[in-house]
Amino acid sequence: MTSSLNGFTGRPRKDPGFVSAGQAMRQSETAARFASSDPSYQQAAQARAREANARIFSASSGADSATYGQGYRTSASGAAILSYGSTTDGSFSFNPEKLEAIPEVERRWSWVEIDLNAIRFNASMVKSRLSPGTRLMAVVKADGYGHGAVQCAKTALNSGAEYLGVATVDEAIELREARVFAPILVLAEPPMSAIPLLLGYKIMPAIYSPEFAISYAEAADAIGCRAPFHLAVNTGMNRIGVRYDEVVPFMQQVGFHRALELVGTFTHYATADCAETLDFQIQTRHFIEAVNALRQAGFNPGIVHAANSAAAIRYPDVQFDMVRLGISLYGYYPCPEAFTLIELKPAMRVKARITDTRLVPMSEGVSYGLHYRSPGSVKICTLPIGYGDGLRRGLSSKIDFLCGGARVRQVGNICMDQCMFEVDMRSFGTRQRIDPQIGDVVTIIGEEGDAAVTVEAMCEVLGTIPHEVTIGLGNSRMPRLYR
């Protein structure tokens, strides 16, 4: 760039037509705002793009070899690039549809695999334990605990589930827009402003405040339809719900409305996954008292349900009319006591391809803080997955991966977008020796042969539960692949 000095700053003046990085970003943002609303602007932008592409890819220009090195035009990658567009009048233009067709796993080498057969198996296993006539609700909140709400909901419904449970109105709408027509219960009372959405998408709310109940009923009555709901009962968890000994006064306060329809009555256990059972028994007694009080007062409680995954597996006597299957739908045991009671198959696997390998000399460090130091004779391999993808930083240097069927130790602090692992390059008579290369697949969660790395192992390190780990990984930037 030719330039002269700027008299005020002593810095070089920019050539006419020079565009800074910041200015280019602002121009791009402006283009994005107007492209969809101004056809002339869009046409001009396309013309500028064609002109820029022509400068790079023009067959008549010798700039390619000068700019990118000899052989660029004839390389395999160059030929592959040209396949994503077309050349007309000596200029090259990218085809957005062809670019969009590049698989997500080829844009970044990390992904989540979901085995829908495992979802089917788990739903069927729990369904087979239920008493005749007892319904199964598949809880698919938090995007199916990170597994994909729509796909898991459809799979569960095809495997014996009859109801769906979600946490928010938007989660329910996503299912409806995916043409899922089963009954959907929002397991909490949404704000009053969401009432039109409940009625429009035929979604049932949990209710525990008279103000919401009356507003919901009035809105339904105004358009000539019913206002179905499930009554949430607080039996001791003290999170949401009408207190168990106040359910009759509550229903007397709201039950007069002709549009309001009590479809179900439920509670939630705080300790069904705990070894100690006293509090569980107290909650069960309170819930049965509440349901019996409703009946004695002339109210039909509808579908009675209380059991979550732990209660559904451990306590057959609290199945009532329906059980709610959450974490166990995805293959995870809610508590150690459930291990011997049912077989479950984890549905999630997490994998990545190696993006870098290097032999790190003895005593040199790896990753932020350099807390890990190479012992020598090790290869350090990098994977494009980090805590920004749900691989929590607290796992740093405390977990293993699987590479070539062998366990390898994750080393150094897990970064936002990447992490590293160590491969011992020394030879031992009884130890399998591997030599990973860029592009090799590594298992972060899953099995390879007889070896396995599990969500439960991560939970033990983090002091948490599978729900948190799978939601973090499944709802991250990584694509989900279904099989």
Residues with a catalytic annotation lie at 141, 368
Q: How far is CA 323 from the centre of its chain?
A: 24
Distance CA 107, CA 120 (A): 30
Angle between helices 149-157 and 169-177 (to 10 degrees): 70
* Number of neighbours of residue 61 by Cβ within 10 angstroms: 15
Contact 269, 305 (CB under 8 A): no
Two structure tokens written together for 475: 């709802």
E strand segments, 286-392: 303-305, 322-325, 348-353, 356-359, 365-366, 372-373, 378-383
Two structure tokens written together for 481: 């692949």
Q: Please, is 62 exposed, middle or buried when counting C-beta atoms within 10 Å of its C-beta (0-12, 13-18, 19+)?
A: exposed
Q: What 3-state class would DSSP assign to 108?
A: coil
Q: What 3-state class would DSSP assign to 449?
A: coil
Distance CA 454, CA 470 (A): 11
Which among 52, 102, 229, 401 has a CA at the least distance from the CA of 409? Answer: 401
Tell the residue number behind the tokens 């020079």, with chain if given. 18
Could you give the maximum distance between any two Cα atoms of the chain, in Å?
A: 93
* Number of neighbours of residue 55 by Cβ within 10 angstroms: 13
Two structure tokens written together for 310: 């732990």
Q: What 3-state class would DSSP assign to 15?
A: coil
φ, ψ (nearest 5 deg) of residue 67: -85, -45
Distance CA 12, CA 4 (A): 5
3-state helix, strand, coil in the chain (%, to 5): 40, 20, 40
Contact 138, 159 (CB under 8 A): no
Contact 236, 270 (CB under 8 A): yes
Q: Across-strand partners of 401?
A: 408
Q: DSSP state, 14? A: P
